[in-house]
Amino acid sequence: MDRLKAYFLQYFEQTFILLTLVVTALINYHPLITDKLAFLNFYFLPIILSGYYLGRRKAVLGAFFAVLMISAYVYYEPEAFIPASPEGALYSHIVAWGSFLILAGAVVGGLHEKLGLEVENTRSLNQQLQGEQAELSRVNVALRSNSDNLELLNRELQHHQEELNRANTTLKDYSDNLESKVKGRTEELKQAAASLKDHAENLELKVKERTEELEKSKQSIESLKSKVEETLFSTMDPAVSKLIIEGRLRNEKRNVSILFSDLVGFTTYSEQNPPEIVIRDLNRYIADMEPVLLAYRGHIDRYMGDGIMCEFGAPLDYETYRILSVLAAIKMQEKMAKVSYPWEMRIGICSGSTITGLVGNKRQSYTAIGDVVNISSRLQNACTPGKVLIDRYTYETINLFVDARKKRDLPVKDVVEGEKERLLEELHTKVAAEPDNALNFFTIGQIHLELNEPVEAMQYFEKALHLDSSDTRAKLAYAEAGLKIRENETINIRGRRQRIEAYEVVGIKDPFDDRKKVSLKFAQEYRYVQNLLQIPADVTLPVEALDGSLGHSKMVAIFAYALASYFGLTDKEKLDILHAGFMADIGKEIVPHHLLNRMGSLSPWELDMVRMHPVESARMVRKMGYDNEGMIKIIHHSHESFGGSGYPDHLKGEDIPIGARIVAVADAYDALISWRPYRDPWERNVAMDEIGRGVGKGLYDPKVVDALIKIMS
């Protein structure tokens, strides 16, 4: 509607003309309009509107236009304007006139109201304008006041400008004086700088000369230090040297294993060959033995011609020193068997309490002192060439991993009864051949009784009576030995036993033959897997000896291979998992040895140290020259928790390679069913239950654990 009104006002003139024409035609030609004179009043309406909207001139022109039209129509059709019935025409004229009169009043009234509204708006605008003019007057007054203030400020500014000019003049005079003084001072400083430069050049030259002297002195000291360290390390174990430098080497009592080795036939060989050949071959022999001893953490005490004395468990207190010593001895004999030497070697090992520390005044050496040293030497003397002889204390620990057979009781100290010792040797040989012959045990007991060794005699009499309880001589001899023991106690004879039990090492046990760990069915099914291993056992054995886990790498590898076969992996994947399981723990070398056999819980820092070993294992495998990335990736992630360990660079869940998840379960299972220095082995079913609980804790992949249960059952 508003748009129509706007359009009408915009085009009023055209609308007026069009409307006038349409109405004229309607009035003149419509059959129902009979009194056309009465309708002439209609033209007042458009004329009034045009006068309001278009102005006086156009309203008058419009009126003339309407008059001309009506006049023309009257001229041509005058009869249309003559009423047919005078009475009817009168009423019709009155009605039309009245209607147009009312309409004209309404139109003119509306226009008046609109005009009044516009007048009111004009009055309001005039009042607003008057207010703005009053405000403008106030602003003008304020401007005049500000102008007066500004003039006052200008006068003050002019006054200040005059003062500033006077100050500038004074400052210029002072500046001229200061410039003159500065110029003079500058000349003085230039002269001082030149003098200082000459002094600095002389000082720099002196510093350079002194620096060169210090550098030469430093190089001399470094060279001397290098030579001292080289000499020190060539004559003393690096671990001992480091402890001495750090001030941590102490003289103390400590349980250690002492290893003595000696070459049989070396004296004859040295007499039959030139010195240079003897020394060359001896150095070649020592060069072969040293790496073995050092690999198993032995401290080479001294070289005694063709003999070697070595301590295990000192100066660093390795918990598994007895295992380390026996493994080193076995590997030394294996090395001798592989290399062609014109002699054989004997090795004796004894374990027990000794005094360790630095001995000597100007020339000092770290060594062990005590009966254990003497006994190990005796064992070496009594050892069969090519063999290893150990005492009972050593045997009690290593018998889990090493096969050994008892030889016989050996004298601890030198004895003069050579004939009796020879007879004892023969009788022990007979006992080994005829273990059920009571007479041999009785005779051995008699000889021990004659050597004033009643305790040993009683042991053999007991064995004789066990085989033949009716032997009267054995009963009497047993009673006599008992009397001698009580007699010795009465006269308070104290000291060590005069004899020691000796065991000859046969070889390292195969953990795959332990039926407590592996069932017969599993052993028969997977025995061939051992032949697939292409990495020598000597790579992992020194590391396993540190925490008493001999055979762990091999068993983890076989268990992992069996699990990989269960999941139907390819042959290459199975071989990668096999070798990854074998090498996964080689990085334990970086873990401090006292943490490997810790019985209690570990601190967070210690746990982080232990968790670093898989990464170190992967690094060491690369360093050894292995470039199988599949195997290395399995090793790197082999100890990660299936549920996530919380470390940002660790994987979790299915993101962990399947080989790593398999190795983790195999490693945990074998660790539980194996002996450790701080606990006994677990029964297989109990170990399975524990691993099942580990699944609930998010440690292991449930699918791999289910596979292990099915394989082992």
Residues forming CATH 1.10.3210.10 domain(s) in the chain? 512-712
pLDDT at 127 over 60: yes
Exposure b/e, 533-544, CB count within 10 A at least 16 = b: bebeeeebbbbb
pLDDT > 70: percent of the chain: 78
Give yes or no for a contact between 346 and 333, defined as CB atoms under 8 angstroms apart.
no
Collapsing DSSP states into helix, strand and coil, what is residue 502?
strand
In which element (H, E) is residue 324 found?
helix 321-338
Contacts of 695 (CB under 8 A, 6+ apart): 642, 701, 702, 705
Give yes or no for a contact between 666 and 526, defined as CB atoms under 8 angstroms apart.
no
What does the DSSP assignment read for 601-620? PPPHHHHHHHHTHHHHHHHH
Give yes or no for a contact between 313 and 534, defined as CB atoms under 8 angstroms apart.
no
Exposure b/e, 321-341, CB count within 10 A at least 16 = b: bbbbbbbbbbbbbebbeeeeb
pLDDT at 236 over 70: no
Residues forming CATH 3.30.70.1230 domain(s) in the chain? 236-412+502-509
Q: CB neighbours (10 Å) of residue 397?
A: 18
Collapsing DSSP states into helix, strand and coil, what is residue 350?
strand
Supply 565's token pair. 């076969």
The mean pLDDT of 472-497, rounded to a whole number, is: 68
Phi, psi of 409 (to 5 degrees): -75, 130
Confidence grade of residue 80 (pLDDT, cut at 50, 70, 90): low
Confidence grade of residue 492 (pLDDT, cut at 50, 70, 90): very low
- pLDDT of the residue at 491: 39
Dist. CA 669–CA 675, nearest whole Å? 12
In which residue are the tokens 């349980």 written?
Answer: 255
Confidence grade of residue 408 (pLDDT, cut at 50, 70, 90): low
pTM of the full structure: 0.61
Q: Which CATH number fits domain 512-712: 3.30.565.10, 1.10.3210.10, 3.20.20.10, 1.20.1260.10?
A: 1.10.3210.10
Min mean pLDDT across 14-18, 286-290, 316-320, 682-686 is at: 14-18
pLDDT at 155 over 70: yes
Give yes or no for a contact between 549 and 675, defined as CB atoms under 8 angstroms apart.
no
Give yes or no for a contact between 307 and 301, defined as CB atoms under 8 angstroms apart.
no
Collapsing DSSP states into helix, strand and coil, what is residue 236?
coil
Domain 427-495 has CATH 3.50.50.60: no
Q: What separation in angstroms does the CA of 701 have from each of 226, 556, 578, 583, 595? A: 53, 16, 18, 21, 27
Residue 666 or 212, more confident: 666
Strands 388-391 and 344-359: what pairing? parallel
CA angle (181 as vertex; 175, 187 as ends), nearest 5:
135
CATH number of 236-412+502-509: 3.30.70.1230
Dist. CA 94–CA 88, nearest whole Å? 10
Return mean pLDDT, the chain. Answer: 80
Exposure b/e, 623-643, CB count within 10 A at least 16 = b: eeebebebbbbbbbbbbbbbe
Supply 99's token pair. 């209607």
pLDDT at 600 over 70: no
Confidence grade of residue 259 (pLDDT, cut at 50, 70, 90): very high
Phi, psi of 265 (to 5 degrees): 90, 5
The mean pLDDT of 687-701, rounded to a whole number, is: 90
Contacts of 260 (CB under 8 A, 6+ apart): 307, 308, 309, 347, 348, 349, 376, 377, 379, 380
pLDDT at 274 over 70: yes
Residues forming CATH 1.25.40.10 domain(s) in the chain? 427-495
Dist. CA 456–CA 498, nearest whole Å? 9
Residue 90 or 239, more confident: 239
In which residue are the tokens 């000082």 written?
Answer: 203
Min mean pLDDT across 175-179, 600-604, 620-624, 625-629 is at: 600-604
Dist. CA 411–CA 613, nearest whole Å? 46
- pLDDT of the residue at 309: 94
Min mean pLDDT across 56-60, 124-128, 216-220, 679-683 is at: 56-60
- pLDDT of the residue at 87: 52
Taking phi over 0 as left and psi of -120 to 50 as alpha, with beta for the rest, 403 belongs to: beta
Exposure b/e, 580-602, CB count within 10 A at least 16 = b: bbbbbbbbbeebebeebeeeeee
86-119 pLDDT, tens per residue?
555 555 655 555 565 566 556 655 665 676 677 7
Dist. CA 467–CA 435, nearest whole Å? 10
pLDDT at 55 over 80: no
- pLDDT of the residue at 109: 57
Residue 596 or 498, more confident: 596
Q: What separation in angstroms does the CA of 92 have from each of 35, 590, 633? A: 7, 130, 117
